[in-house]
Amino acid sequence: MLELPSETAPITLREAQEKVDTWIQNLGVRYFSELTNLAQLVEEVGELSRIISRKYGDQSFKSGESADEMPDEMADILFVLICLANQTGIDLTAAFHRNLDKKTERDGTRHLENPKLRAGD
């Protein structure tokens, strides 16, 4: 039986990648193709967008829709993104650190100096 972590157990990106791979191997049969997973990712982002546009935008929820679905939609996005990373051999921990370093170097003072962002101070 596949052991699932408790809902509150901390998990690293590396552990998440391993758990998704274990889930796929044991329950998912195999990974969908990269193109199918890209389409799945876009679909999941669309579902999150629908909720956000209704909760924070001008649209209202349809019958049966709820903002309570937002965490699940975010988790769906994360799951599919992890699938794509696993399939393409990307270590998300290393990629995240490189990306944060890049943003820090590029934007280290940019946002601090942006008067549009400091308007609420």
Give the global pTM: 0.86
**Rounded-to-integer distance, Cα 31 and Cα 21, Å:** 9
From the list 69, 2, 1, 80, the residue with the least C-alpha distance to 41 is 80
Q: Are residues 27 and 56 in the same domain?
A: yes
Those residues whose C-beta lies under 8 Å from the C-beta of residue 73, and which sit 6 or more positions away, are: 44, 47, 48, 51
Same domain for 107 and 75, yes or no, is no
Place of tokens 């195999």: 30
Of 51, 97, 104, residue with least CA distance to 74? 51
Q: Are residues 72 and 102 part of one domain?
A: no
Q: Is residue 99 part of a domain?
A: yes
What is the per-residue pLDDT across 9-67, written as a single tens digit (0 to 9) for each?
899 999 999 999 999 999 999 999 999 999 999 999 999 999 999 999 999 998 988 88
Which range of residues forms the domain containing residue 72? 13-90
